[in-house]
Structure 1
Amino acid sequence: MKTKKLNTIASLIFFALTLVVTGQNKFDHSTWDQALILNVSTDGLVNYNGFMKDSSLLYTYFQQLTENKPDASWSKDEQMAYWINTYNAYTIKLIIDSYPVKSIKDLKDPWDKKFFKIDGEWFSLNDIEHKILRKFGDPRIHFAINCASYSCPVVLNRAYTAANLQRLLEQQTKKFINDPTRNTITPTEVKVSKIFSWYKRDFKTDNKDVVDFINSYANVKISNQPNKGYADYDWSLNETKINPTTYVLD
């Protein structure tokens, strides 16, 4: 009887652990992870020629995405990871479909073009960003999605998952804000990315403003600098001409 009871307890524990694990792994992003490792450098430069050569990985991932749209059973982090990866993957597709191209802005309606399907529904990049990702109420998503341009937050060369999402959102936000090629924050001058102007309302949370948000990550705080403004936005393509050889592994 004691052995039977112990077996029952063990079974319940195993079942509970299984629920926890599967709840955090509704979708396997390993195909996208592999494509990123092969074709994105640690500084976020993209080898678009490489993505075209590895197109089988991309199209396998697109098939997985369209067949596994998130539903209410997915955790918030799993949903966010799915849609961030979807946005970034289809931005890559948008570029390679018209490659070579000097800038995403050379394309017609790049963000409003409905050019891919998820579970039979047509989507644009703006649909994902504005109708889905921004609805989560987490302004850090702006530093995880990439618009194929130098002034955008860099393309991370690993896939987002439910397990790494929070850590990577913090990492990418801090990295972007303290990147002198995208923001200048010194004791005498402030020129921040226009992202903080375009999405100003997203950064106003919990009675804090945009400056409060930036200061929570910035190594140099914004306070009484005499020169303040926004940096010019470089829309040129964020590409590298060589195969990346150095990777960041978790």
Structure 2
Amino acid sequence: MPSRLSLTLHLILASFILLVSSTVFAAPKADLWPYWQGSDEANSMPINHQLWQQTLNHYIVQQGEQTLISYHQIDQEGKWQLDRYIREMSKLNPLAYRKAEQFAYWVNLYNALTVKLIVDNYPVKSITKLGGLFSFGPWDDEVVTVNGKKLTLNDIEHRILRPIWQDKRIHYAVNCASLGCPNLQPHAFTASNSNHLLDLAAKQFINSKKGVLSTNNKTQLSSIYDWYQADFGDTTQLQQHLNQYRTTPVVLKTIDYDYDWALNEAK
């Protein structure tokens, strides 16, 4: 028979887990970090993302609707290449470039950092297993320093990308290493292809079962549309956004939300 103390500890732990799980999906609001607003629109020099493109070329696998990553195949050379890309990006001053270059810079850096987190902790079943003891994932961990500023993934997404560009398609561009997430694009973002890739990523996700699954009068949506309602708007606005990219229009009536946090790994 378990002791009264062990039962008490079990109840406390269970209550804590319930409390954490109830707040896990309270996604951060867009909260501008003013420092990162500057740019040099006269600078036409591109940022070189070739090292990141090589990583994508070597380790991305397309399986049905999913774009998966062969984490188990990333060897020492692959790790070195990924690390080198991140080091090179961290040495740049993104504020010295035009806004279009900055956008691609932040999206690629975010995605590369996410892949590195998985590689550094592999094997892992879910990115949610990373981070501190009482954390749901590593998004608040400092993972890179740019211009002397220590940054977390949440800083990049919610304090730089979302508030500066205010484009809902950003949610289809940044990848959280999970099956429920919009696919990691097999092409590095650049100033010239970003708009095309954003539209492509939106179309892929919204026409996939993990994005929108409509049956009869019931629609299952990705939890992204619940977490970031502030970006996608009310039901009417969300339906309009979805149907902008849907091959078969959807009518939103009864809505459920779902998200698969399992690792986006190619077996």
Deviations 1:26-66 (A, max 9, x none): 31001100111101123410111233431121111011111
5+ residue gaps, structure 1, are 1-19, 242-250
Distance of 2:237 and 2:75 partners within structure 1 = 42
Which fold has the larger relative contact order, with Cα–Cα distance below 8 Å and residues 6 or more apart in sequence?
Answer: 1
Partner of 1:16: none
Q: Which residue of 2 aligns with 1:216?
A: 244
Range with bigger deviation, 179-188 or 62-71: 179-188
Cα distance in 1 between the residues matched to 2:86 and 2:72:
18
Is residue 210–residue 259 contact of structure 2 (8 Å, CA) maintained in 1?
no
2:246 maps to amino acid: A
Deviation of the 1:21 alpha carbon:
11
Determine what percentage of the aligned residue pairs are the same residue: 38
* Residue equivalent to 1:238: 264
Specify the code of the residue in structure 1 equivalent to 2:148.
G
CA displacement at 1:22 relative to structure 2: 6.3
AA aligned opposite 1:128: I
Aligned to 2:153: 125
Paired residues of 1:185 and 1:221 also in contact (CA < 8 A)? no
Give the letter aligned to residue 58 of structure 2: L
Contact between 1:185 and 1:220, CA under 8 Å: does it hold in 2?
no
User: Which residue number corresponds to residue 86 of structure 2?
Assistant: 62
The residue that corresponds to 1:45 in the other structure is 68
Aligned twin of 1:14: none
Deviation at 1:105, TM superposition (A): 0.8
State the partner residue of 2:30: none
Check whether the contact 1:52–1:96 (CA below 8 A) recurs between aligned residues: no
Give the Cα separation in 2 of the matches to 1:101 and 1:48: 10
The secondary structure found in structure 2 opposite 1:231 is strand
Residue 223 of structure 2 contacts residue 257 of structure 2 at CA under 8 Å; is this kept in 1?
Answer: yes
> Who is 2:186 aligned against?
157
**Equivalent of residue 86 in structure 1, options 84, 101, 109:** 109
Max Rg structure: 1
Q: Within 5 Å, give how 1:94-243 maps onto structure 2.
A: 94-108=117-131, 109=135, 110-135=138-163, 136-186=165-215, 188-204=217-233, 209-223=237-251, 228-241=254-267
Residue in structure 2 matched with residue 11 of structure 1 by the alignment: none
How much is the aligned-residue C-alpha RMSD, in angstroms?
A: 2.1
Contact 1:186–1:220 (CA under 8 A) maintained in structure 2? no
Conserved? CA contact 1:115–1:123, under 8 Å: yes
TM-score between both structures, scaled by the size of structure 1 = 0.80
Distance 2:85 2:198 in 1: 22
Partner in structure 2 of residue 32 of structure 1:
52
Residues 116, 67 of structure 1: alpha-carbon distance in 2 compared, 3 angstrom cutoff = same
Q: Which residue of 2 aligns with 1:4?
A: none
Answer yes or no: is the 8 Å Cα contact 2:43–2:97 preserved in 1: no
In structure 2, how many angstroms separate the alpha carbons of the residues matched to 1:230 and 1:21? Answer: 47
Which one has a larger percent strand, Structure 1 or Structure 2? 2
Number of aligned residues: 216
Label 1:148 to 1:114 Cα distance change in 2 as closer, same or farther (>3 A): same
- One-letter code of the match for 1:179? S
